[in-house]
């Protein structure tokens, strides 16, 4: 790195510290150059309907076209839809208009039918989506999910560009559902997969010349996997422009909102008499300490299943409560067989929390066997109620309490619970949403633990990093100071 660029790096770092995420004074975006992004793992899932991990979500964000965008200051903005839809028919219908001239990277025109198809894909039985909650409020979603129909009755294509959505219950937050990356249209994003030969240790993306928002600034986007130390080393060497990980990796660091909720689901049906003792043990866990000691990224203790970032300024999570005297003796029968404590095998934070829970349960005379399982298998076992206790980690994708509650409820207890959760919190914000979410947590029999977020660590030359209030950022908006020209 030349002295000039080192100086620029220091200056840029100072500037970003003053105004994180904003473009520097007097400099317009430049096109070109390669932006290399390190992630905890390489993306494995290209389909936005199936993406749930940060790496997969970033890839989906880069290659799929969002219907609506969430701005830095938490407002909705048009994406593939030409405007943010407004409620009709007493809040039970919304009219969606696709932006004229929208196309996929292959040149295929995009229209209302594609949006309807994207909704239907979320309810597919062939490849169950973790984001079915996005389509559940629409009339006929249950019939499609159950396989009784092949199409979503509440999604009515009125014209090539106009779609009418009719809802099963009033949900003023519906436009925020449309901003979910799960509903993004594949092939209509800022980038397309770059032609490559053999399987590689990176995912390379090239600009999509037909991107609805316009050509992305970067000439190439390269996604790689790197551990925390490796990523920090590469960023310092100038071999990376951005690191997205829970840990800070140097450069200009911005903490994204803590929107990944980690919680414990209790299956009282299976636990029987042991359920109260398990609940009491879980309630005794100091969530703040758990968040502080076991979460790698920015973390905050949870009071309900809704992340505090969506509730404004909610009351703090309750501290752990000591178990009543003699409780362990009362739980002795349950200790006869070890409890099955399920945990997703790809979430280190959830695993750390599960291990702590295992110790807590043991302290109270309850033996638990930790079973790391793949995320898809965990979803199936939860749906089948084939667990005693499960630790879940859900990255909330919608920036409204009702929708977050629906997403978490779907992960814990399935579609009916998700629908009820959304209906319960519909239209609620702040304290009223907090109260409703607390009641919902109890009815779902879950113990919220903490919410975590990621950090983005950027090289000084990287510009245009403007995470929305939903914690996501548009890779198409990233650009390099100097246009990626060699110094």
Partner 1 sequence: MRLALSLLVALAAAPSPATRADPPLPAQSSPPGPAGSSVEALAAALARELGPPAGGRRALALAVEVRARALGAPLEAALSAALSAQGYAVAPLRTPGDPEAAARAAGHDWLLRVQAGLVPGRRELGAVAELIPTWPSFFLQRRPGARAVPPRLVEARAPADAATVLLAREGRPAGAPYAGVRRLARLPGRVLALAAGEAEEGRGPVVVAALPGALVVLSVEGERLATHTLEPVAGPVRAPAAALAVGDFGGGRIAVREAGAQHGAVLALRGGRLEPVAALDGAPLCSGGAGAVFGAFQPGTSVLADALAPLVDPGAPPRSARTLYGVACAPRGGPIAFAALGTDLRLELLGADLRPVPSATPAAPATFLEGVGTGFALADLDGDGVAEVVTSSADPASPERIRVVPARPGAAPAFEWGPIDGAILSGASADLTADGGDDAVLGAVLRLEDGSEATDLFLVTSDPRELP
The two three-digit tokens of residue 324, written as one number: 């009543």
Q: Is 312 in the site for partner 1 (CB under 8 A)?
A: no
Give the one residue of 276, 298, 372, 483 binding partner 1; rule: CB under 8 A.
Answer: 483
Q: Which is nearer to partner 1, 99 or 233 (CB)?
A: 99
Half-sphere exposure of residue 156: CA atoms within 13 angstroms, side-chain side: 11
Q: Which is nearer to partner 1, 326 or 486 (CB)?
A: 486
Q: Is 485 in the site for partner 1 (CB under 8 A)?
A: yes
DSSP string spanning 202-267? EEEEEE-TT-TT---S-SEEEEEE--HHHHHHHHHHTS-SEEEESS--SSEEEEPP--EEEEEEE-
- Non-local CB neighbours of 93 within 8 Å, separated by 6+ positions: 87, 164, 165, 166, 167
User: Which of 12-20, 329-337, 361-369, 420-428 is the region at the interface with partner 1 (rule: CB under 8 A)?
Assistant: 12-20
- Non-local CB neighbours of 197 within 8 Å, separated by 6+ positions: none
Q: Which is nearer to partner 1, 15 or 383 (CB)?
A: 15
Q: What is the DSSP letter of 366?
A: -
User: Which of 3-11, 267-275, 309-317, 444-452 is the region at the interface with partner 1 (rule: CB under 8 A)?
Assistant: 3-11
Q: Is 473 in the site for partner 1 (CB under 8 A)?
A: no
User: Which of 52-60, 131-139, 251-259, 475-483 is the region at the interface with partner 1 (rule: CB under 8 A)?
Assistant: 475-483
Q: Is 32 in the site for partner 1 (CB under 8 A)?
A: yes
- Non-local CB neighbours of 470 within 8 Å, separated by 6+ positions: 70, 179, 257, 259, 397, 398, 399
Q: Which is nearer to partner 1, 213 or 436 (CB)?
A: 213
Q: Under rule CB under 8 A, which residues in 190-219 are in contact with partner 1?
A: 209, 211-217
Orientation angle between helical segments 415-425 and 430-444, nearest 10 degrees: 150
Q: Which of 395, 404, 411 is nearest to 454 (CA)?
A: 395
Q: Which is nearer to partner 1, 1 or 10 (CB)?
A: 10
Q: Is 1 in the site for partner 1 (CB under 8 A)?
A: no
Rounded distance, CA 133 to CA 145, Å?
Answer: 11
Give the one residue of 27, 86, 146, 194 binding partner 1; rule: CB under 8 A.
Answer: 27
User: Which of 19-27, 338-346, 377-385, 426-434 is the region at the interface with partner 1 (rule: CB under 8 A)?
Assistant: 19-27
Q: Which of 278, 384, 385 is nearest to 333 (CA)?
A: 278
Q: Which of 74, 173, 189 is nearest to 133 (CA)?
A: 173
User: Which of 25-33, 295-303, 342-350, 379-387 is the region at the interface with partner 1 (rule: CB under 8 A)?
Assistant: 25-33
Distances in whole angstroms, Cα of residue 295 to Cα of each of 195, 212, 462: 38, 38, 27
Q: Is 15 in the site for partner 1 (CB under 8 A)?
A: yes
The two three-digit tokens of residue 466, written as one number: 């403007």
Q: Which is nearer to partner 1, 17 or 89 (CB)?
A: 17
Q: Is 73 in the site for partner 1 (CB under 8 A)?
A: yes
Q: Is 294 in the site for partner 1 (CB under 8 A)?
A: no
Query: Least distance to partner 1 from the beta carbon of 475, Å?
Result: 12
Q: Is 411 in the site for partner 1 (CB under 8 A)?
A: no
Query: Least distance to partner 1 from the beta carbon of 23, Å?
Result: 7
Give the one residue of 29, 250, 320, 414 binding partner 1; rule: CB under 8 A.
Answer: 29
User: 3-class SS at 462?
Assistant: strand
Q: Which is nearer to partner 1, 179 or 305 (CB)?
A: 179
Tell me the backbone φ, ψ of residue 205, rounded to 5 degrees: -125, 145
Query: Least distance to partner 1 from the beta carbon of 468, Å?
Result: 14
Q: Which is nearer to partner 1, 307 or 476 (CB)?
A: 476
Orientation angle between helical segments 348-363 and 275-283, nearest 10 degrees: 110
Q: Is 14 in the site for partner 1 (CB under 8 A)?
A: yes
Give the one residue of 2, 3, 26, 148 binding partner 1; rule: CB under 8 A.
Answer: 26
Q: Which is nearer to partner 1, 78 or 111 (CB)?
A: 78
Rounded distance, CA 87 to CA 94, Å?
Answer: 5
User: 3-class SS at 12?
Assistant: helix
Query: Least distance to partner 1 from the beta carbon of 191, Å?
Result: 13
Q: Is 89 in the site for partner 1 (CB under 8 A)?
A: no
Chain position carrying tokens 């969002």? 66
Q: Is 10 in the site for partner 1 (CB under 8 A)?
A: yes
The site for partner 1 (CB under 8 A) is made up of: 8, 10-12, 14-15, 23-32, 73, 75, 209, 211-217, 476-477, 481-483, 485
């Amino acid at each position: 790195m030349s002295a000039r660029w080192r100086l620029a790096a220091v200056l840029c770092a100072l500037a970003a510290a003053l105004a994180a995420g904003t473009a520097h004074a007097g400099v317009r975006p430049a096109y070109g150059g390669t932006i290399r992004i390190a992630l905890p793992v390489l993306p494995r899932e290209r389909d936005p309907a199936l993406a749930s991990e940060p790496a997969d979500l970033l890839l989906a964000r880069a290659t799929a076209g969002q219907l609506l965008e969430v701005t830095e200051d938490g407002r909705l903005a048009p994406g593939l839809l030409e405007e943010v839809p407004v409620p009709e028919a007493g809040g039970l219908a919304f009219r969606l208009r696709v932006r004229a001239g929208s196309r996929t990277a292959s040149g295929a025109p995009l229209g209302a039918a594609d949006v309807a198809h994207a909704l239907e894909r979320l309810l597919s039985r062939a490849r169950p989506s973790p984001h079915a909650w996005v389509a559940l409020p629409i009339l006929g979603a249950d019939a499609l999910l159950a396989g009784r129909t092949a199409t979503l009755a509440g999604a009515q294509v009125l014209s090539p560009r106009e779609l009418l959505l009719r809802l099963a219950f009033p949900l003023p937050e519906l436009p925020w559902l449309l901003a979910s990356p799960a509903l993004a249209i594949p092939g209509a994003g800022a980038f397309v997969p770059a032609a490559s030969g053999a399987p590689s240790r990176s995912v390379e993306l090239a600009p999509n010349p037909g991107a609805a928002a316009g050509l992305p600034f970067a000439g190439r986007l390269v996604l790689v996997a790197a551990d925390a130390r490796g990523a920090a080393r590469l960023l310092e060497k100038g071999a990376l422009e951005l690191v997205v990980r829970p840990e800070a990796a140097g450069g200009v660091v911005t903490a994204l909102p803590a929107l990944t909720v980690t919680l414990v689901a209790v299956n009282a049906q299976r636990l029987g008499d042991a359920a109260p003792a398990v609940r009491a043990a879980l309630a005794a866990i100091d969530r703040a300490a758990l968040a502080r000691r076991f979460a790698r990224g920015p973390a905050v203790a949870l009071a309900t299943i809704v992340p505090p970032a969506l509730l404004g300024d909610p009351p703090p999570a309750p501290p752990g409560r000591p178990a009543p005297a003699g409780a362990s003796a009362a739980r002795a029968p349950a200790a006869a067989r070890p409890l099955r404590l399920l945990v997703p095998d790809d979430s280190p934070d959830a695993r750390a929390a599960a291990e702590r829970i295992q110790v807590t349960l043991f302290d109270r005379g309850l033996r638990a066997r930790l079973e790391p399982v793949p995320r898809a298998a965990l979803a199936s076992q939860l749906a089948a109620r084939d667990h005693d206790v499960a630790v879940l980690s859900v990255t909330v994708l919608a920036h409204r309490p009702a929708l977050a509650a629906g997403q978490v409820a779907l992960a814990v207890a399935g579609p009916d619970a998700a629908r009820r959760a959304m209906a319960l919190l519909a239209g609620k914000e702040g304290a009223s949403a907090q109260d409703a979410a607390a009641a919902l947590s109890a009815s779902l029999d879950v113990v919220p633990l903490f919410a975590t977020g990621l950090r983005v660590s950027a090289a000084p030359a990287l510009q245009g990093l403007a995470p929305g209030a939903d914690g996501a950022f548009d890779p198409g908006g990233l650009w390099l100071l100097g246009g990626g020209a060699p110094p």
